[in-house]
């Protein structure tokens, strides 16, 4: 089997790190050093916002936290960069967005 025929199938067994980002904040080092039990750190994300799903630090999806059998889980809600397919437009249709075709 040639490399081209297999495509990228050989990469399927490569280990990657999947992580979920709950939120971020920026703090001064003195404030970080003052953290301890019962400290509260407010993050930049609202409680109803979707969380970022990262593979090796790159965003691939958005999801929400779920609980299953006493463990945290993640439900993928949308993939990053994947747009829903719009219905195909007739290339001969008269449109303001196509300057090559006029109504005259």
At 67-90, the pLDDT tens digits run: 999 999 999 999 998 766 555 554
User: Whole-prediction pTM value?
Assistant: 0.63
Local confidence band at 1 (pLDDT 50, 70, 90 cut-offs): very low
In a domain, 8, yes or no: no
Query: What mean pLDDT do residues 13-28 have?
Result: 95
Residue 54, in any domain of the structure: yes
Is 102 inside any structural domain? no
Which range of residues forms the domain containing residue 50? 14-22+35-80
Quote the number of domains for the chain. 1
**Exposure string over 48-60, b if 16+ CB within 10 A, otherwise e:** eeebbbbeeeeeb
């Amino acid at each position: 089997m040639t490399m081209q025929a297999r495509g990228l199938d050989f990469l399927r067994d490569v280990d990657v790190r999947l992580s979920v980002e709950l939120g971020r904040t920026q703090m001064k080092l003195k404030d970080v050093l003052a953290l301890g039990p019962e400290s509260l750190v407010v993050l930049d994300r609202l409680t109803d916002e979707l969380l970022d799903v990262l593979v090796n630090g790159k965003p691939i999806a958005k999801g929400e936290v779920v609980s299953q059998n006493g463990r945290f889980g993640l439900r993928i809600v949308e993939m990053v960069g994947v747009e829903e397919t719009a219905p195909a437009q007739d290339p001969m249709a008269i449109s303001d967005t196509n300057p090559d075709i006029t109504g005259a």
